[in-house]
Amino acid sequence: MYSKTVMDHFKNPRNVGEMKDADGVGEVGNPICGDMMTIYIKVKDDYIDDISFLTFGCGAAIAVSSILTEMAKGKTIGEAQKINNKSVAAALEGLPKNKLHCSNLGADALQLAIRDYQDRKAGIVREGPKRSDKHEHHHGDACYCPYCDMEAEEDSPVCVNCGRELDEAH
């Protein structure tokens, strides 16, 4: 089901753990399938000097977090801001379509961590990390069946391809 790169990052995840003296923290929670990601960054001279993650989620979610930390480490803030969920999935040599829904939130958490860092620099103080419960359940205009990867018809209670029930939120 998963590519070699995904399995490598899942089995040997890079940069795992809480960072107590982080300059920015971003947290993303997904209410539908329960994935949660926290990204911590340490910034030095506008560079991401150190980065780590904590993730609750499936194998894909863990691999996403791991490769994301490798992609962002050593980059300038401006470069890191260009990392998005699509480029993370590409670096993992692709993810199953249903995993694009729920597991591929790492870049969102990174962008929140960067904004948290910028806010702190601007003197905005908040309790806890910058977090978002926002969950994009769409890829552009189309929506995909989580079971068979086929495009799902809008408003249909079941997938016309595999016949399985679709979530109301699809």
**Least separation in angstroms between CB 102 and another protein:** 6
CA distance 43 to 49: 5
Q: Respond yes or no: is residue 102 known to be catalytic.
A: yes
Side-chain half-sphere CA neighbours of 149 within 13 A: 6
Stretch that binds another protein, among 15-23, 71-79, 80-88, 113-121 (CB under 8 A): 15-23
**Least separation in angstroms between CB 71 and another protein:** 18
CA distance 33 to 41: 26
Which is closer to another protein, CB of 121 or CB of 138? 138
Task: Scan residues 18-77 and list those touching another protein (CB under 8 A).
Answer: 18, 27, 32-38, 53-62
Question: Could you tell me which of 131, 140, 67 has the C-alpha nearest to residue 97?
Answer: 140
Active site members: 33, 102
